Structure formats: structure tokens, C-alpha cells
């Protein structure tokens, strides 16, 4: 019997989604800033706005009090962008530098960001880019 081809994780880890970012999307705390970063990229790619909201620090400039409006913003982004891949460039104690490869309306909107994360009650949260 052949098993179905596993879905590759959108975070470009080379692992199947089920063994990569999926457990974090289902509630397992990401053990490091890098895994959180990867799981957030995958959440954007897979249109999972609630995970993105849950993993944004309340002091982040990206945090929004109006969750319904925030969810719509995230979904509009997820649904209008093709997530080509992610490259991790550098990892610090609470920082990750990465390149996110994205296409929107036929235009390359890829960007490099140095993100800061903070651990709150055992869970890593995204704070902001620096």
C-alpha cells in the first residue's frame, strides 16, 4: 500500500507540514523564536489568522484591539499573496533574520526582516521587526 504524498510545509523546512508547523498551529508551544517564525510564515501561507493573532505580542505595532478587523486584514493578505518560500538568515537568542519570498498581483513583494520575539508564560510571541 502506498501512502499519500505528504504536503510539504510552506516554511521551506523540507519537512512535511504534519511534522513541521502543524503541531504549533494546533496549540503546541513553539520551542524557539525560529520555530515560531516558521510557523507564522506557514500560518500566513495557509490562511490561519487566529494563530497569527495569538502569537503577536500585545505591545507589537501589528497588534490590533479590534480582532474582527484584524482577522480580515490578515485574511486579505493571506488570500492575495503567493507564499513562495522562507529563508532563515540568522538566529539570535530572541531574534530571527529572514527573507520571505512573496508574490502579490504578479509583483515580487519579497522582503528581509530582523524580527524580535519575546517569551511570555512559556510561549514565544512576535514583537516587531527592527
Candidate ranges 7-15, 58-66, 69-77, 82-90; the one touching Zn ion (CB under 5 A): 7-15
Binding-site member from 5, 19, 38, 74 for Zn ion (CB under 5 A)? 38
Torsion of CA 48, 53, 54, 60, to 10 degrees: 140
Coil, helix or strand at residue 114: strand
Q: Around Cβ 37, how many Cβ atoms within 10 Å?
A: 26
Candidate ranges 30-38, 73-81, 101-109, 115-123; the one touching Zn ion (CB under 5 A): 30-38
CB of 102 to Zn ion, least distance (A): 16
Looking at beta carbons only, is 13 or 32 nearer to Zn ion? 13
Adjacent-strand bridge partners of 108: 103
Amino acid at each position: 500500500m502506498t501512502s499519500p504524498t505528504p504536503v510539504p510545509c510552506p516554511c521551506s523546512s523540507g519537512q512535511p507540514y504534519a511534522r513541521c508547523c502543524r503541531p504549533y498551529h494546533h496549540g503546541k508551544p513553539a520551542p524557539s523564536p525560529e520555530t515560531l517564525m516558521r510557523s507564522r510564515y506557514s500560518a500566513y501561507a495557509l490562511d490561519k489568522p487566529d494563530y497569527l493573532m495569538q502569537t503577536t505580542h500585545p505591545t507589537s505595532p501589528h497588534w490590533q484591539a479590534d480582532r474582527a478587523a484584524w482577522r480580515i486584514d490578515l485574511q486579505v493578505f493571506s488570500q492575495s499573496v503567493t507564499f513562495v518560500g522562507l529563508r532563515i538568515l540568522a538566529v539570535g537568542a530572541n531574534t530571527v533574520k529572514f527573507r520571505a519570498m512573496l508574490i502579490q498581483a504578479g509583483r515580487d513583494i519579497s522582503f528581509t526582516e530582523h524580527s524580535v520575539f519575546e517569551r511570555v508564560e512559556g510561549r514565544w510571541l512576535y514583537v516587531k521587526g527592527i
